[in-house]
Structure 1
């Protein structure tokens, strides 16, 4: 039996479509699975000592209270941080990069935007960011799956007022 070039193209297109459909089903299942886990996590987490919950659903624990300045949203902050999933697997860290991160306080995910103005220089907090205040249903490429609660330890090292920043 001989297959014509047109039949071969159709077979390849059909195979790619089936593979794509399978991949999309897997992603959708992951979205639903992670959403369920993300809904359960805060209920269990809030039972732990020292956990506070904001109106948005963000949870935090003060590990060390600083006594310096609190940043405004247009200020630049210097922080050390470690980002993990709830299982402890690390996905990002300024420590691993070998230097603190510096950025404008409103230039990050919503969970950080909410918590940074609550912190003072010298503070170290652990925050638990629900998907709606992080990367949500879309995740972030291969690094952060959809609908994941993210856990960050943030140490606020410095604040520079937005109109006084040297090294933007």
Structure 2
């Protein structure tokens, strides 16, 4: 249970975000069946947020700090680290395992 991280492309292996850092990322989120439910790439703008401060799902708060700048990784996030039993009505069914391809662009 939790978040599994598989590196797709290594980053610089020196700059890692820590709790409270603001980061810039691209991501594509999908369900296990391949249905894409969200994508910063489709919107054409990186997603910017503070990491490790409870603004995001637990899988991201725990997974992103393990990435270095420039890294692209695949996160497999179990429901307890994602949106849980409730999901997001009309978008993510309850108890869904989530798949994210995340690219850490910068720590701001």
TM-score grouping bracket, smaller chain normalisation: over 0.9
* More helix, by proportion: 1
SS in 1 for 2:85: helix
Map 1:152-167 onto structure 2 (within 5 A): 152-160=100-108
Q: Which runs of 5+ in 1 are unaligned?
A: 1-55, 161-168
* Aligned with 2:3 (options 58, 62, 82): 58
Q: Does 2:56 align with 1:108? A: yes
Q: What per-residue deviation string (whole Å, max 9, x for no partner) do you get for residues 28-53 of structure 1?
A: xxxxxxxxxxxxxxxxxxxxxxxxxx
Give the deviation of 1:77 after TM superposition. Answer: 0.5
Which entry has the higher C-alpha Rg, 1 or 2? 1
Structure number with the bigger relative contact order (C-alpha 8 A, sep ≥ 6) is 2
Map 1:11-160 onto structure 2 (within 5 A): 56-67=1-12, 68-106=14-52, 107-160=55-108
SS in 1 for 2:33: coil
Question: Aligned residue pairs: how many?
Answer: 105
Q: Find runs of 4+ consecutive structure 1 residues off by over 6 angstroms.
A: none
SS in 2 for 1:96: helix
2:92 and 2:32 map into 1 onto residues whose CA distance is 12
TM-score (norm 1): 0.60
* More strand, by proportion: 2
